[in-house]
Structure 1
Amino acid sequence: MRLVITGMGIVSPLGNGVPAFWDALCRGESGIRPLARLDTSGFTYTRGGEVRDIPPAPDLPLPPGTDLATRFMLAAAAEAAAQARLQDVQPPAIGIVLGTNFGGATCAEQLMGFTTGRLPAPDADVLAGYSFQQGADHLARLVRATGPRTVLSLSCSSGTAAIVHAASLIRQGHAQAVLTGGYDALSRFAWAGLSALRTMAKETIRPFDKRRDGTLFSEGAGILVLESLDHALERGATPLAEFLGSGLNNNAFHMTAPDKQGDGMAGAMQAALDEAGLAPDRVDHVNAHGTGTPYNDAIETLAIKTVFGAHAYRMPVTSIKSMTGHLMGAAGAAEAIATVLTIRNGCIPPTINLEVPDPACDLDYVPQTARHHPVRIALSNSAGIGGNNASILLAAYEAEPGQPRPGPAPDHSPLIPKGDAMNQRVVITGIGPVSAIGVGREAFATALTAGKNGFIREPLTATSAESAWTAPIRDFHVEEFLESQKAYLDRSSQFAFAAAALALEDAGLTPSPDMGIILGTAYGSMETMLAFYDGVLEKGPRFAKPFLFPHAYANTAISLLAIEYGLKGFHLCLASGFTAGAAALAEAYAQIRTGRSTVILAGGCDALSPALLQGCRLAGWLANGSDTVPDPHSTGGIIPGEGAAILVIEAREHALARGAIPLAEITDIAWSGCPSDDSCGRPLPDNPPGSGIRQLLGETFGADGALQACAASITRQGGLIPCVRIVSQDPGGSRVMLTLQKPQPGIPE
């Protein structure tokens, strides 16, 4: 299946709208200046890239206090949707995949400050405003999309990874067109953390220059419309460029230090070339990650030379971060837009501020001035905290001569798995449930059979007079599940580590570098966010604890697991609200079914924290009841729970070859979304079918779908029932469904 880009929109420090953005890039303008809107009092670093003209609010009712990042994203999406004429597309055919580092960070600041008693009470919608998924929900309402809807968070590779995931959903047939990209806004929380990492430049960004001393961060949003070529031509849309291939992986090395050999970044680029079936010398240009930090630029240069060999010296490479600044979760999407414009206009934007060559960076970086140069095929790179790497390969769209209908372009043939590779059977061979009713398969199964719940009533915070029913995990000791001692792990990461260790043991599997990992979470590392930001509020940003900040990202747990087990394969962190765990299983199924991966650890995790409980209280989500355990069905509220579940998802042939005994087979997945105003913003009063374990575990948020899958996979009373439908639904209306069946003949039982 050929995929094309048919619409683009952007909000950036260089200007809003694609024409203004492209004009500024070609003229070599810088969007870096002293920060004006962000309060930088107490900060050492005070220069960055702010959006100067805040886009007007969209024609859409938004809750009070809607985060600025969401406003950026909606404006960029409106531009992209208009160019692609998405109003002509039926709502079920439209999907949404967004990437972000920090989601609604200013809402998070308000919630954290209120929880610690340092800020006044925020709006009731503050928890929904912080939720990563809320931006996708608002966008679904704007364009009336009812197709798959998800958000992912892979630090600064998020925007590029979103495009990769969008392509996967289209190829699976779950959508015909997807609005995809990334967004982020500057906030005191993010600026304090990024300053604490000491990777910022004193004055300006100088990618690949010998004097480079760091990067500078900025804000904005970049959104593209990706769709199947058949669908685009059928409705008369204009293809702007073609999506050829992609690579996602992890260095499995360190949370903040780069892999000095550049193997991870080289692997992502090579994967994109392999998927497209292209030799390296067919690529005309690389839009580099190019952050301006001393190590990263040299390592990316090395990685490019590893993949392209002598051709690397003939191929122009550029870093638009020299002009835009580092747009965080929006960076990859903005750079994808720049790459499309480079292909269409035959003009490569410059790397400005590159004045003194560095012997370690010895490629052609198009210094200072834009260059007219024909580009047919180009690669765009991204990387981020936690060791994430993402690359996408884009090309000029070319129809076959005289044919309006699609066919393979004359000079490249995308390497999409065919035949048997598109129909790999997918099985579950190990489970690792960590929950309030039991940790590990045996304890979990016993509690399920007995109908035991994990509910207790406890104070909302250590100093609160108010209390609520919750389902916490008690008497939990993570040490027995760790391969090595850890200096710091918050509860969400602890649960994920236990779940992974249990799943691997249950499957009888030893981790290997080619294994992938996909993890979902609704709220990420709220416990660490609270600890970090409380320090900022109490003592000021210069006294922030730098070791905490890398653990405050949504992708903390998955990155730490990749490092722990050396997992360098397919890597994706889904921050898609209550459906995140189920979405992780669904994407693992798709990757294995199409032959792109053989074994993937997949699941979800979330932990209770004072901030999460306060957010639930403010939103009116908590179930009623004083001395008697409430029934969520009758109250319309939830009992907040916590936990994790990771499952070993494996190709049937691989399981057979190693003598594994599968617990279940995944035979089908489905994604859908409802943009109805009535369903957005609060948990549904009636739990969807298949969610009975919530009556025992409470609402486990991003872990829900994976815990459901564990329950369905456990053999009870002589065997798994023939077929189980797992349904996971988010307050915003998005839904992910999986069908699990008893293993079919041919697999030992």
Structure 2
Amino acid sequence: MTDTDTATATATATATTRTTTDTTTSETASASGVTVVGTGAISALGPTARHLWEGARRGQVGIGPVQALSMDGLDTKVGGEVTDPVEPRRGYLAPEGFRERAIELALVAADEALATLPEGLVAAERFGVVLGTCNAGLLSGREWLRAVRDGETPDPRLALLVTPQALAESVGAAFGLRGPVLAVNTACASGANAIGLAADLLRAGRADAVLAGGSDAFSDVCFAGFHALQSLSPEPAAPYDAGRQGLSLGEGSGMVLLVRSDFAREHGLTGLADVAGYGLSADGFHSTAPQPEGKGAARAITSALRLSGVTPEEIGYVNGHGTGTPKNDPAETNAIRLALGEAEAARTPVSSTKSMIGHMLGAAGAAEAIVTAHALNEQLAPPTAGYTTPDPECPLDYIPGAARPLDSGAALSNNFAFGGANASLVLTRSADAHRPPAPDTDRVVITGIGLLSPAGGSAAEVWSAYTRGQVPVTVADGVRRSAVDFDPEPYLTKRQRRRMDRLAQFGIAATSKALADAGVEPGSPEAEAIGIVFGTGTGPMEAMQKFTDPLLAEGPAAADPSVFPNTVYNQAAGQIAIHLGLRGPTSTLSVGHATGAATLAYTADLLAAGHADALVCTVTDTLTEQVGRAYAAVGAASTRADDEPADGKFTLAEGSVAVVLERRSAAIARGATILGEILGHGMASDASRARRWDARGRGLERAMRAALDDAGLAPTGVGAVWLAAAGLSTADAAENLAVSRLFGPHPVPALHAPKTVLGEPMGVGGALTLALALHQGRFGGGLPVLLNSSSLGGSHVSVAVRCGADSPRTTTTHDVSDVSDVSGENR
């Protein structure tokens, strides 16, 4: 049997197995919890999760003088530094002599977390990774910019380590995990958000085990940014204390190994705690400051309680966000009081792990979840180090001095971030076998589209450009590129955009258009209930360079406090929420070129599970000189100056696409016009240590089969495939092989490859193909379509969509080619 035949047989067998077991798995998952069966951490308290917990329960302060960085010119000399050797047992692709510390910290923590799982118990194809990070490969990006500044040629491998997805794929590849591989970047809420998303994947039966958590490393860039915001404490942080002076930065990684509770019991795995539920919300208030009354954070806590089935009276401990800044601590205190009620909040002990390890940014939520899990397991609440003097603005019980016995089976872990992104986890004691209520699931429909593209400002214009093959292309900085001709004035005044980068401007414009298309007025009560799930492949590279270049030349004194907030990936989501009045759940994903499809999939899952009635999925990427240079350096972007760039590479493009998704019942209740429906999705990874896709397309084939399975479709029920193909010949050839095997002896449906004409808009591609598919299917009557997206690091997402007005959804796994035409009002 050939390799291709073997791959086909394996994929077919996997699909058949899922077809026969998914109903049972789904039913079991909805009635079962998600259990933490392994933990790993490296922090200022030591090299393991046990060090983290033992230090936390003793109130041991790991914050001290920073040794590895120069602290000259800063407000502080201290931080929660990892002083133990960081020596991962598994490698990753990096330039010779260069180390990306954020990846290495994650690998160390992951190794410890995975050690509890018997080898071979979970198939690689059913094993996922969800990694949260705030700064991602910031050290790699800094080194790239330093080389450019010094007139050197940056090592191309640096470009492969910069983004959040680079961290997630490096971890997945190191351990050979081929399930969903996703990166979350909701700044300081990333670790908690990642654990919540991982729990969703398990409950939906999309994986049997998921490694989830966060990682961030110290850098002079980060210290200079918080110094510019005047947020750093000269002494170890003292959260909630009347004399607190600010936060202490920390570094490290926390990782948890999650499985479904029934899986843990079946295989004799010991649970530390269960992830009963989580909640997300947007403040929609300010780029860095929290909403002072705590209303936004309270919504995240309330949502977590509702979805977990845990009442405020059952919460026995809160692991607080507790940064130690003058504004954050009172705002969180108010949030706890609003969510739990005054009486329950007054009697519930709260403590801050950050008082001992510092603020680990994207890793904070994961490290604090580990401490919370141990607290429940051992029935002991750790103290808040440095808390001695009560503050009238913070009137809760913050556990001073020493750890305190608990008598409770449930706890909260809170994390709040720049841009007003809030995440709250509800953990329960595994021994209590708490079962969250089955979610009130619903179908997810599409009710609005808005876009910005080099080819036009509507799907009709972009479709016309695609079919005519006429797209504006220039050669800039030696790279073929297609840029958006954008006038922000209709959407933002000059004053509003004064401190806003193009990433946020694009996102606000596209989201405004999508809301208008859906019949929702920005700033209205209806809009306030809507959340924003943002996606970006390359992130805020414009702001990152603008902030970093002066630091390289002049040091911390050159740090611009108006630019620093824009360097986090979720800042655009925060700006969208602020300017359009969106205060529902918010999250930010960065999954490379698979971002658009991954963000659509996550948004649909949040809605289906009842996190909100409506969400906007907005995916945006912008071009800069260094982004173009990086793509050219890794051999992906075309550098041909003629009109026919037949060099096996792609033309870079930029843009933004926003999609309003709603629970079908909510859309019908408000009389919305339904443009289509998200039927299902599938995710898979090649887990290549070379950080490349599988040349035979096996990962993408698994993603497509999983999407069909999830949608209840057979290959013969597919009317078209919108390809990930963008002109990069080796990747496109792999996709062709995957498509050929998927349809086997059956006729291959219509294939569309719009990015080969329109250019590769990086993370926006999956959302752009959705807009075009909806435009083509606007008159109804067609079969469902598959939308494919693949990152350059081998992460694949396929989304099954029915285009056209509302229609009955099939629930069979058989051929649906005889399904009647869709009916209802068409656009």
TM-score over 0.5 (shorter chain): yes
Matched residue, 1:685: 730
Matched residue, 2:24: none
**Alpha-carbon distance in structure 2 between the residues aligned to 1:74 and 1:298:** 36
8 A Cα contact 1:691 1:727, kept in partner: no
C-alpha spacing 1:502/1:428, structure 2 compared with 1 (3 Å): same
Alignment of 1:479-494 (within 5 A): 479-482=489-492, 485-494=496-505
Secondary structure at 2:161 match in 1: helix
- 2:730 is the counterpart of 1:696: no
C-alpha spacing 1:203/1:726, structure 2 compared with 1 (3 Å): same
Matched residue, 1:314: 347
- 2:450 is the counterpart of 1:440: no
Matched residue, 1:404: none
Give the superposition deviation at 1:328. 0.7
In the alignment, residue 206 of structure 1 is paired with which amino acid?
A: A
In the alignment, residue 798 of structure 2 is paired with which amino acid?
A: M
Give the superposition deviation at 1:691. 6.2
Give the superposition deviation at 1:448. 2.8
8 A Cα contact 1:582 1:603, kept in partner: no
C-alpha spacing 1:363/1:660, structure 2 compared with 1 (3 Å): closer
**Alpha-carbon distance in structure 2 between the residues aligned to 1:584 and 1:504:** 18
- Aligned partner of 1:38 among 69, 72, 86: 69
Matched residue, 2:484: 473
- 2:174 is the counterpart of 1:129: no
8 A Cα contact 1:44 1:542, kept in partner: no
**Alpha-carbon distance in structure 1 between the residues aligned to 2:503 and 2:358:** 32
- Aligned partner of 2:384 among 341, 351, 356: 351
Percent identical among aligned pairs is 35
Matched residue, 1:565: 580
- Aligned partner of 1:25 among 47, 56, 70: 56
- 2:426 is the counterpart of 1:393: yes
For each residue in 1:143-168, what CA deviation from the matched residue of structure 2 results, as whole angstroms up to 9, or x when unmatched?
Answer: 21111110010110110010111111
Matched residue, 2:766: 705
In the alignment, residue 205 of structure 2 is paired with which amino acid?
A: G
**Alpha-carbon distance in structure 2 between the residues aligned to 1:391 and 1:590:** 18
For each residue in 1:281-332, what CA deviation from the matched residue of structure 2 results, as whole angstroms up to 9, or x when unmatched?
Answer: 1111111111111121112112212222212222211111111111111101
**Alpha-carbon distance in structure 2 between the residues aligned to 1:164 and 1:86:** 25
8 A Cα contact 1:91 1:144, kept in partner: yes
C-alpha spacing 1:9/1:684, structure 2 compared with 1 (3 Å): farther
Alignment of 1:453-532 (within 5 A): 453-458=471-476, 460=477, 467-474=478-485, 476-482=486-492, 485-511=496-522, 512-532=527-547
Q: Greater CA deviation, 172-181 or 510-519?
A: 510-519
Matched residue, 1:406: none
8 A Cα contact 2:780 2:823, kept in partner: no
Secondary structure at 1:726 match in 2: strand
Matched residue, 1:242: 274
C-alpha spacing 1:19/1:657, structure 2 compared with 1 (3 Å): closer
**Alpha-carbon distance in structure 2 between the residues aligned to 1:613 and 1:516:** 32
- Aligned partner of 1:53 among 84, 87, 91: 84
Secondary structure at 2:489 match in 1: helix
8 A Cα contact 2:531 2:585, kept in partner: yes
- Aligned partner of 1:62 among 86, 93, 105: 93
In the alignment, residue 259 of structure 2 is paired with which amino acid?
A: E
8 A Cα contact 2:511 2:618, kept in partner: no
Structure 1: stretches of 5+ with no match in the other structure: 400-408, 461-466
Give the superposition deviation at 1:569. 0.9
Alignment of 1:243-392 (within 5 A): 243-308=275-340, 309-392=342-425
C-alpha spacing 1:27/1:717, structure 2 compared with 1 (3 Å): closer
Give the superposition deviation at 1:76. 0.1
**Alpha-carbon distance in structure 2 between the residues aligned to 1:527 and 1:681:** 27
Matched residue, 1:153: 185
Matched residue, 1:464: none
For each residue in 1:424-465, what CA deviation from the matched residue of structure 2 results, as whole angstroms up to 9, or x when unmatched?
Answer: 22222221121111112342233233232232212x1xxxxx
Matched residue, 2:212: 180
Alignment of 1:580-591 (within 5 A): 580-591=595-606
**Alpha-carbon distance in structure 2 between the residues aligned to 1:532 and 1:433:** 28
In the alignment, residue 288 of structure 1 is paired with which amino acid?
A: G
In the alignment, residue 153 of structure 1 is paired with which amino acid?
A: N
Give the superposition deviation at 1:627. 2.4
- Aligned partner of 1:647 among 645, 659, 684: 659
Secondary structure at 2:183 match in 1: strand
8 A Cα contact 1:10 1:79, kept in partner: yes
**Alpha-carbon distance in structure 1 between the residues aligned to 2:430 and 2:116:** 17
**Alpha-carbon distance in structure 1 between the residues aligned to 2:294 and 2:230:** 21
8 A Cα contact 1:104 1:129, kept in partner: yes
For each residue in 1:106-142, what CA deviation from the matched residue of structure 2 results, as whole angstroms up to 9, or x when unmatched?
Answer: 0010122334x24633321111110211111121122
**Alpha-carbon distance in structure 1 between the residues aligned to 2:216 and 2:825:** 49
**Alpha-carbon distance in structure 1 between the residues aligned to 2:617 and 2:764:** 11
**Alpha-carbon distance in structure 2 between the residues aligned to 1:41 and 1:721:** 65
Give the superposition deviation at 1:602. 0.6
**Alpha-carbon distance in structure 2 between the residues aligned to 1:34 and 1:557:** 34
8 A Cα contact 2:692 2:794, kept in partner: yes
8 A Cα contact 2:351 2:382, kept in partner: yes
Secondary structure at 1:191 match in 2: helix
**Alpha-carbon distance in structure 2 between the residues aligned to 1:86 and 1:731:** 29
8 A Cα contact 2:92 2:170, kept in partner: no
**Alpha-carbon distance in structure 2 between the residues aligned to 1:238 and 1:717:** 51
**Alpha-carbon distance in structure 2 between the residues aligned to 1:56 and 1:20:** 17
Matched residue, 1:14: 45
Aligned residues: 722
For each residue in 1:350-380, what CA deviation from the matched residue of structure 2 results, as whole angstroms up to 9, or x when unmatched?
Answer: 1111111212222221112222333421111
C-alpha spacing 1:582/1:246, structure 2 compared with 1 (3 Å): same
In the alignment, residue 62 of structure 1 is paired with which amino acid?
A: L
Matched residue, 1:606: 621
8 A Cα contact 2:169 2:691, kept in partner: no
Give the superposition deviation at 1:681. 7.6
Matched residue, 2:791: 730
Structure 2: stretches of 5+ with no match in the other structure: 1-31, 695-727, 737-750, 808-821
For each residue in 1:357-410, what CA deviation from the matched residue of structure 2 results, as whole angstroms up to 9, or x when unmatched?
Answer: 2122222211122223334211110001101111111111126xxxxxxxxx4x
**Alpha-carbon distance in structure 1 between the residues aligned to 2:778 and 2:252:** 55
8 A Cα contact 2:82 2:251, kept in partner: yes
- Aligned partner of 1:549 among 560, 564, 570: 564
Secondary structure at 2:413 match in 1: strand
Give the superposition deviation at 1:537. 1.9
For each residue in 1:179-201, what CA deviation from the matched residue of structure 2 results, as whole angstroms up to 9, or x when unmatched?
Answer: 00111001111111111111111
In the alignment, residue 472 of structure 2 is paired with which amino acid?
A: G
Give the superposition deviation at 1:71. 0.1
In the alignment, residue 132 of structure 2 is paired with which amino acid?
A: G
Give the superposition deviation at 1:54. 2.6
Give the superposition deviation at 1:342. 0.7
